[in-house]
Amino acid sequence: MKVAVTSAGPGLSSALDSRFGRAAYLLLVDLPERTVSAIENRAGLNAAQGAGIQAAQSVIDAGASKLITGHCGPKAYRVLQAAGIEVLLADGGSVDEVVDRFEAGSLAPALAADVDSHW
């Protein structure tokens, strides 16, 4: 199973980035092996608008079935839900720690977007 995690850096020891669309990286963690591939989110960092939708498309294109992030806006949430990708919320820690909590079943699923649209 591939899980996408928003991250401040390219590795498992990097901190969770709480911003979905403007996260520095989207890490794809293949479970249970925990192999990682990093997607630099340069487009999202520099986007005037639509960063969440662009990041959601990257998650979809990468084949992830789950997304772990701190916050997800309404447009990105709708795109992810339409693609069948479950959004789970985490409140900090390293990517490795967040994946541990995911595997333990202690992350709450997002039932809706938890931040307002910026536009």
Cα 5 to Cα 99: distance, rounded to the nearest angstrom: 8
Q: What confidence category does residue 46 fall into, taking pLDDT thresholds of 50, 70 and 90? A: low
Q: What angle do CA 28, 41, 114 make, to 5 degrees?
A: 80
Higher pLDDT, 30 or 108: 30
Domains of the chain: 2-109 (3.30.420.130)
What global pTM score does this model have?
0.90
Kindly tell me if the per-residue pLDDT of 95 is higher than 50.
yes
Cα 53 to Cα 22: distance, rounded to the nearest angstrom: 11
State the chain's mean pLDDT as an integer. Answer: 90
Helices and strands (H and E) in the chain: how many: 4, 6
CB 37 within 8 A of CB 5: no
H/E stretch holding 88 reads strand 86-89
**Residue 92 DSSP SS3:** coil
